[in-house]
Amino acid sequence: MITDYHVHLETGPYSLEWLKKYWDTAQKKDITDLGFSEHAYRFKQSKKILYNPWIAEKQTENIEEYIALVLKAKKEGLPVKLGIELDFVPGKEKEIETFIQSYPWDYVIGSIHWIGDWGFDLPEMKTKWENKKIIKIYEEYFTIMKELLSSHLFDILGHLDVIKVFGYKPDQKDLLILFSFYDEILELIKQSKIVVEMSTAGLRKPVKELYPSEDMMKRLTDYNIPFIINSDAHRPEDVGAGYEKGISYLKKYGVEEISIFDQRKRSVIPLG
């Protein structure tokens, strides 16, 4: 078995025909456990968690349609899972918890895409990087991550170091500071029992790297943190993209099993 739980349907309609295009690719890639995890911000029901001018234009969907589609696919016998990718917003823990508890998820991915009103991984907001001190941005990002982990609300930690998406990284002189951020979150990851996503999405981004970085992978595996492998596909053809490299990467660090979820209960399978 092999997983891909970070998959978005949002570039097409919420129809069984569109969903099956993702499953067709999964079968070709020998992926046997496919999970859909739409961005929660797309849904009108998430306005209490995250709402800003950029989001407002996209917060148009009804979550009931999404859930009904995945449940229908399950009923037809497709081995798919119902997930959601939720932006963690400091101070919105209660709203996030209420949202999560309102629906029958198999798993919940917690991610960070926003520092205040700045979507740091959005191409249309990339220019804001040029006016900021990179190590300070990383500090803000990992400070939010500490709050995410302390909330104990999520099953999977999405793309841990997505902050590097455009290739902006701290200078050599700031590496010790960066590594101190890594070390600060490791114990919280361990305590939270969250599963860390090894994502191949970075290979398709400007940074051209897997998430997490090698420095972080070494620390995570020293702590025996559980992993899952995901692609963060937004198109059917990206399901399982980069998996040959991703699986080799995990095995390089001694990872021999990955996590799977069903109704938010975790179990493990051998890494294929």
Q: What is the pLDDT of residue 131?
A: 85
Average pLDDT in the 138-155 region? Answer: 98
Distance CA 95, CA 266 (A): 24
Residue (of 88, 91, 178, 164) closest to 136 by Cα position: 178
Q: What is the pLDDT of residue 1?
A: 77
Residue (of 244, 243, 236, 225) closest to 157 by Cα position: 225
**CB < 8 Å & 24+ apart, contacts of 218-223:** 218/253, 219/182, 219/183, 219/186, 220/186, 220/189, 220/196, 220/253, 221/253, 221/254, 221/255, 223/186, 223/189, 223/190
What domains can be seen in the chain, in order of their start residue?
3-270 (3.20.20.140)
pLDDT, tens digit (0-9, with 9 covering 90-100), for 162-176: 999 999 999 999 999
Distance CA 111, CA 209 (A): 18
């859909």: which residue's tokens?
36
163, amino acid identity: I
pLDDT, tens digit (0-9, with 9 covering 90-100), for 234-263: 999 999 999 999 999 999 999 999 999 999
pLDDT, tens digit (0-9, with 9 covering 90-100), for 10-64: 999 999 999 999 999 999 999 999 999 999 999 999 999 999 999 999 999 999 9
